[in-house]
Chain A
């Protein structure tokens, strides 16, 4: 890998990464345009309906009936498949661009792996590279089943942010693995953890939207008869495109439990590995502590969903806190906390 040979495989990988980031950024723009265009159109249509029927004074916001109608329409399209789906120009552009960027992303990941002659997830830079790739992979796969294109902005935005900053801040040259990392468990444990993270990310996004939607539902329900001319603020406009809070909660829960199963497996696989490498399966090392904390938080979330008084808004907060802990574990704990897991590759 001397400079005279021109571009090394790793250089190519980095080029592919930046190309992918650029295309993800375009996808983000397309998805965002889609959201704003659709919500503008929807608000317009609702206003027209209101004016036509002269139900209430113009501009006073939506009625409960409108909210219901909109939400059930959004729910129906959530489950629509194939040709039954809404044909949304900018959302389609967004998805196409995401696919394209994803191909570059996979190329970058594979090139890095070949250049390093091992799995490309053994330092911070590589965790980020592979982890974000899995987030996109899960998102694109899920799209076949549910029309979650309204999450496109979130997913592409998150990936641009994470991948971009990882490439700027965490990039390290390929170095040979340290002995403790030479294990099949590196392959399994880290991969499954990233996969779990991808599902938690989708659950997180849906939980945030659920909270926004729940607020809107509350506000709309509360406006008994608003004085003419007042505009009731019900949150960002795009919330009007989304399914009801309950439907999003159910969807978030579905992703969270898949993430939870992967996380449980991560915990166990990590213990087996720790037992091989360090001679004990559990030692409350910082990284172990945080993996455990995250596991317990999501167990709490699952319980909250089944506890009277906790289903809904409160449990959504737990899903949000859980994902915040996942991100904290990946960034702050890896970089600043002292422990045995010193594999960030940053010194």
Chain B
């Protein structure tokens, strides 16, 4: 069957190995009976390679490779998601780890092999989509193809006869006119093909299917580009903030800051945030999930320059949006206020020090560094127990995350804090390498143990250390005796909305591409000796489970209309 020109035009363009594909030169060459390939020049080879790359088979193989290549990233720890896991892996498997590392198995999604697969896939996709889009653009304005001579050959075919009328020719024409207008209302594009004694309308619908397919594939390219470029315009920063203190959105005020390549630090929005309070609830003892913390809420007052201060809160699942940034809650804990005075009673250090939680009952670890004011530099390493209980060994543990019986234990080190050379040091660890331990195990002096409001002597008569009670005057119990801190993460994600937009477009395109049926429909009226014969026929282009029903419905509707029009 040779295709008429208009038919080929309205057909979506497909790679040559598509199931509905028309064999192109490639296959023709094979079919010529000539076993030796004709000699191809450089251009010829390039063309051949390009056709291979943009074929269905290549797309399919690359998709499957992509799926397989993604798997190792879920088996081995990844540097981006779980850096500690990678370190641990190196410790546990010192022999294998370097080999895996050479294969980039700890950076799967940035590895050269993973990148190669998806880049090839997307080149293939672009190479596939561009010609199809061009073709589809033209097809959108083409006419439905000529009515086949023998409709009866089609699977879905219905015939009805109408008895002799005085002017069969006119009746046949009227019937087809009616069919054409019905089809047009049903969303078909129609074209009349009339000959003497045989009138027909050829109709086609479902161009939207190809449009959806193209939108889907193009939107995938959009997602990739948005993700790829987005990282360069994105910054994230972290900051720990204690109740009652204020944080300014400026580089110096972050504990860590990771800008993308194209982020201009000077254009980072200026605002400040004060942590007014931090709320958390605990499941009651004796219920299931006892002690489980929840409903975290960092209550902030935010101030954008030149505007009124506003109150807001940062909760899990509910980041605070401010000036295009999103502020997330990463963690929280206690920040005991510790005051150190010298032998004369002058305060040489006072701060609320964030202690990092070590377990679910918030046993927390923290460090105080007193650089000046005492005879030597002093470091305090401490544990904080919100509800302390002594173990048989004499050590403490926390048995409840809330402040019921708070205890702070401190060990004192003296010597060189190692902060004078200006090299950055973590505020959460103390390098005791060049320090002397003055209290606790291996010394004669007991560790310092304090409850809120208590003071203790430093060794050598150097002064005192106080665990300051932050509770307002006259309050009972320990509930407010220790401040809390929140660790916040500030994100500016320029790409997020674009990624979402393309993802939504892809989904819409997909729905259209998969569920809009594309089909041809013909209604043909032929004059016969006894009257006119009307044929209805349909042909699916691609998946169309309801074609038969559609043809039957067309026949019924048209028949009814003819009936009532009489």
Contact = CB atoms under 8 A, between A and B. Distances in A.
A307 B19 contact: yes
A339 B71 CA distance: 14
A144 interface: no
Contact of A311 (B19, B499, B514): B19
B503 interface: yes
Contact of A338 (B67, B82, B317): B82
B17 interface: yes
Chain A, interface residues (CB within 8 Å), range = 35 or more
Interface in A133-175: 173-175
A182 B510 contact: no
A163 to B, nearest CB: 23
B506 A264 contact: yes
B296 A179 contact: yes
A275 B292 contact: no
B66 interface: yes
Given A183-B317, A296-B63, A176 B294 contact: yes
B175 to A, nearest CB: 30
Chain B binding surface SS class: mixed
B19 A293 contact: no
B507 A265 contact: yes
B318 interface: yes
A168 B545 CA distance: 42
A258 to B, nearest CB: 8
Contact of B289 (A175, A279, A303, A333): A175
A70 to B, nearest CB: 20
Nearest to A300: B63
Interface string A274-303: 011111111111100110110011011001
A282 B224 CA distance: 12
Could you say which of A253, A276, A290, A318 has the most chain B C-beta atoms within 10 Å of its C-beta? A276
Nearest to B55: A307
B21 to A, nearest CB: 7
Contacts of B78: 284
A279 B491 contact: yes
A265 B510 CA distance: 11
Contact of A306 (B18, B292, B319, B330): B18
B77 interface: yes
A301 to B, nearest CB: 9
Contact of B328 (A182, A279, A300): A279
A177 B283 CA distance: 11
Contacts of A290: 74
Contact of B510 (A264, A278, A289): A264
Interface in B461-496: 489, 491, 493, 496
A182 B296 CA distance: 11
Contacts of A177: 294
Contact of B17 (A182, A185, A250, A309): A309
B81 interface: yes
B294 A293 contact: no
Nearest to A272: B500
A305 B59 CA distance: 13
Contacts of B288: 1, 173-176
Interface of A: 1, 173-180, 182-183, 185, 250, 253-254, 257, 260-261, 264-265, 268, 271-273, 275-286, 289-290, 292-293, 296-297, 299-300, 303-311, 318, 333, 337-339
Given A297-B67, A308-B18, 12 more contacts: A183-B317, A250-B545, A254-B545, A257-B514, A261-B511, A264-B510, A268-B500, A279-B319, A284-B108, A290-B74, A306-B18, A307-B17
Interface of B: 14, 17-21, 56-57, 59-60, 63-64, 66-67, 70-71, 73-75, 77-78, 80-82, 85, 108-109, 227, 236, 283, 288-289, 292-296, 315-319, 326, 328, 330, 489, 491, 493, 496, 499-500, 503-504, 506-507, 510-511, 514-515, 543, 545
14 contacts: A176-B288, A179-B294, A179-B317, A275-B496, A279-B236, A279-B328, A284-B78, A284-B80, A284-B109, A300-B63, A303-B63, A308-B19, A308-B56, A308-B57
